[in-house]
Amino acid sequence: MSEVITAGEVARELSNAILLCLKYLKQAGSPSVLQPALPFDEAFSVAKMLNVNDVAGILQVSTSHAYALIRRGDIPSIHIGRSIRVRPADLEEYIEANIR
């Protein structure tokens, strides 16, 4: 029998994996293998940035709630045209600041 996995379970597991990876990279420092190939600071690497759907999935909230958090300035964001991007470090900082 095959096991049925819901989208919510997949999102939860993915968000947990991303957070674990971010914590590891923060503690261990970025190994040279993970350094960006482009000649600019890795904090501004667009390839490593999250979109609003990613943020909503990681926080396990609706997309509209993620937009509201960004609009209020609770989560810092970068606007590129009509696109909104969030640095993983900023999202991690938001999560850490809101743990009770």
Residue at 18 is within a domain:
yes
Residue at 1 is within a domain:
no
Categorize the per-residue pLDDT at 31 as very low, low, confident or very high, splitting at 50, 70 and 90. Answer: low
Residue at 61 is within a domain:
yes
- Read off the tokens for 85: 């991007």
Residue at 54 is within a domain:
yes
Categorize the per-residue pLDDT at 92 as very low, low, confident or very high, splitting at 50, 70 and 90. Answer: very high
Categorize the per-residue pLDDT at 22 as very low, low, confident or very high, splitting at 50, 70 and 90. Answer: confident
Residue at 50 is within a domain:
yes
Residue at 2 is within a domain:
no
Residue at 84 is within a domain:
yes
Number of domains, the chain? 1
Please report the pLDDT score of residue 47 as a whole number.
52
Residue 10 scores a pLDDT above 50? yes
Q: What is the pLDDT of residues 64-73, one digit of tens each?
A: 999 999 999 9
For 1-100, where are the alpha helices, taking DSSP H only? 7-28, 52-59, 63-72, 88-97
Residue at 69 is within a domain:
yes
Q: Give the structural domain span for 56.
A: 7-97
